[in-house]
Structure 1
Amino acid sequence: MAFHYGQIIKEYRERHKMTQAKLAELWPKKDGGVGVNTRYVQDVEYGSKKIDDQGTLRKLATLLEIPLWRFGLSEYDPFNPASLPGAGVKLYNETLDVTEGFIKQTLAMRRTASLPEVQRSAQSLQRLFDYFSTYTPPSTRLEPRFLSLYAQGQSLQGLMYFEHRQYAQALETFEAMYATSQQLGDPVLQVHALQKLAVELNRARRKQEAVQAMEEARDLSFKASKYVAAFANAYLAHIYAAAGEALRFERAITTAQSLAASLGSSYGDGTDFVVHKMSSILQLRSRGYLRIGEPRKTLALHDELRSQIQQDSNLWLDFRLQLYRAKAYLMLHDVEACLEAAREFFRDVVDWRSPHRLSRGDELLRELEAAGYGELKAVKELKEELREAARNMASHQQNKTDARD
C-alpha cells in the first residue's frame, strides 16, 4: 500500500485510545471550525481521501501530538511566521550547549551530592533524550554532536543502574553506549564506553575481556588527549590489579599519575567529559595495592590520598578512604584498627544513600567473618547497623515509588 497521511493519523489516534467518532468531533477544518462526520475520518485513514492543506495537517499534529516531521513539515510555518522554531522540537546549538553543560554538571555532582540528588538530574536528562527521540526526525538524531551527547546520556543512565546494584542493566547500557560511540567514530567516547564496560566485565568475573577492553581503550586514548590518556591508564591499572598483574598495574598507574600531574588542576575539569580528579587516580592506586597483596602501601598512601581528596573536594571518595584502610588492617590481622576504620567508613557512607556504596560494607563484613572475627561483639553491632541502614534506604526508595504512583 502506498504511503498516505491517514496511516500516521490512525497510528497516533490509536496511541491516544481515541475513537474515529471522537476524532471526527475534534477534526480541524480549513475555515477554522471543527467537526466532520465519522465516515470522513475513515476515508482519510484508509487513504481514499487526501489531505492537501498544510494548516489542517499542523492542527492535527497538535491535536494528536504527532511530530511535524512525520508529515514532512518543518517547525517553521510560512503561513504563521510569528510561530518561530525553538520552543518545539528543532535542535539548536544553544539547546545542545545547555544539554552538554547539564551532563557535565551531573557527572561532577557525583563527587559531592547524595545519590537521590544525582538521580533527579540524570532522570531529567533521560526525559530530555526521550523527547528528542520521539519528536525529532532521524536525520537530526544522527548529527555527530547529538550522538556525542546521547552517548554521555547513556553513560549516566548506566551509572544510575550501577549505583542501585543493577549491574546487568548497567553492562547492557554501557554496551549500547559503546555502539553509539562506534557509530560516531569518536575515540574520546569510545574510551569512556570501554572503561565502563571493562569495570562491569570485571565485576562479572569476565576478567580477560575486561583487560582486553581497557587495553583497547588505552590504545584509542593516544588519538584523543592527555586528559583521556590519563583516565584510560588509571582504569587500565585498576583492571590489571584485579587480574593480579602487579607489574603492569604499577606501570599503568604511574603513567596515569604522571599524565594527570602534567595537566595540573585542569585534570578532571570536564574536558573531554573527564571528571576524574587526581584523588581518583590515587584512590585506584590505593585499592590496587590491596588487590596485589600490598596492604602496607595502601596505609602509607592514606595521608596523601586524604589530603588530595580535600584539595579536589572529591568528597565521595571519603568512604572509600576508610574502607581501604579497614581492609588493609584486616590483611595485616590488626582487627581493632580494622573495626575503627570500618566505623568511620560506615559514618561516611550512609549519607550518600547509594545501595552500591553501602554494599561495600557487606563485603567488608564477609571478609571479617571469613577471617574468623564474625562472633566479635563489635562485628555483630556493625552488621546490625548496616542492615538497619539498608532497610531505611529500601523504605525511603519504596516511599518515593509509592508517591510517584
Structure 2
Amino acid sequence: MRYMATYDLMETMRNTNQWLGASALAMASYPAFGMVPHPMFNLMAAWGEVTERSFARMVAKPDWNLHSVVGADGQDHLVEVETEVERPFGDLIRFHVLGREEMKRRVLLVAPMSGHYATLLRSTVQSLLEDCEVWVTDWHNARDIPVSTGKFDVEDYTLYLADFMKHLGSDLHVIAVCQPVPLTLAATAYLAGEDPKSQPKSLTLVGGPVDPDAAPTEVTDFGRRVTMGQLEETVIQQVGAKYAGCGRMVYPGLLQLQSFMSMNAEKHGKAFYEQMMRVARGEAQEHDKHNRFYDEYLAVMDMTAEFYLSTVERIFKGREIAQNIFTIEGKPVDIGAITSVAVKTVEGSKDDISAPGQCIAALDLLTGLPEEKKASHVEEGAGHYGIFAGKSWRNNIRPLVMDFIDANSGLVPTRGTGKKKRKAPQKKA
C-alpha cells in the first residue's frame, strides 16, 4: 500500500465516480429526452446529481460560511476569518466580529485532526460567536505540505497547542473536541511545567479518548486487533505527483472516510437513497438538511503518517496519557502538575466513538487539582456528533459550558442565556 501508485489509483476511482455522476446527469437531462416522459430519466439524473456532488466534495475544503452575527444591539455584525498565527501544519485563526465591542469570554476551540477539516465545527463556532471571542485551530491537509517541511506527530501537535495557548495569553478558556482531548490535556500540563503563567483559566474536554480502555468501542478494538506493522503496511500511502506534498507518507482522508461510513453503512445508504428520490421528485434543495450534513461529512483531509501512527501507538495502544507517562522530546509531561486550571469533561451516553468513561478519566489524572475545580457531564441520548454540534449541544451542553467558563472567570453564571455579569464587589464591614 505504501506506494504513490496506490494513492493515485484511489484518487482515480474517486474522480471516475464523480465523472460518471456528471455524465449521467448531463445525459439524462438532455432536452430531447423531454419528448419521452419516462421516470427512468428522472431517476438517472437524480442519481447523477447526488453522485457527482458527493464525490466532488471529498477533495474540496469547505468554506466556513459564517457571514454575520446578531449582537446585543440587535444589529447584524459581519464576521471576518483572520489568520493570527501561521504554521506549516496548521494555523490559529480568529473569527473577528466587526463593529462589536470585544466580548469578555475568550475561547480557543481545538478542532480534531482526524480526517475532517476544522469546518466540521462550524455550528459550534457559530453558537459560541454570539457572546465569545473565538479562535480555532485550522489544520492543513498533509497532501499539500511539501516533504521538506519535515515531520508532524503527536508531540509536534501538542507543542502547536501549547504555542497557540501562549500566544493568546492566560485569560483564555479552551474547548477541545474529540481527538485532540488527550493532547490538549497534555499541552496544558506541558505549560504547567514550562510556563505556568500561560495556562488557560479553564479546559473543557468534549468526547475524547483520554483512556481508550475505560470503555472499549469498535474504534479502540480495531487498535488492539492490528499490529503497528500491519497498520503501516495496509493504510499508509505516498502522496502522488499531483499535489505539493508529493512523496509524503500519509493516512489518506479517503480511507478514513471509508472507515467512518462503514461504521453506519446502512444508515448512510438509506440517507443517500432517500436524497436521490427527493431529487427525482423535485423536492431537494441546494442547502437542505442532507446536503448541509454530507457536504461537510464527505470533505476529508490526509493526515501525516507519523501523526496517525503515533496516535494509535501512543494514545490508544500505549495509553501514555491514561497512564500519565506521555513525553515530549524525552521529557515527561506530568498531568498532575495542573493545579489551577478548572477542567470539565462532557460525554454522550450514546457516543459510539469515544464512549462514556473515556473522557472523564481525565479527572482522575488531575491529582494536583482541587475537587472544586473539576466537573463532568454526561448528556443522555446524545451521540458523538450531538455533543458538540447537535441539539444536545445547543440546548443543554453549551449553557453548561458557558456557566463553567463564567464560574472560572470571575463572572456570575446565568444558566441558559449565555449572558454574563461581573461579580459584585464585597462590601467591607
TM range (shorter): under 0.3
Name the TM-score, length of structure 2 as normaliser: 0.26
**Structure holding more strand per residue:** 2
Name the TM-score, length of structure 1 as normaliser: 0.27
Larger radius of gyration: 1
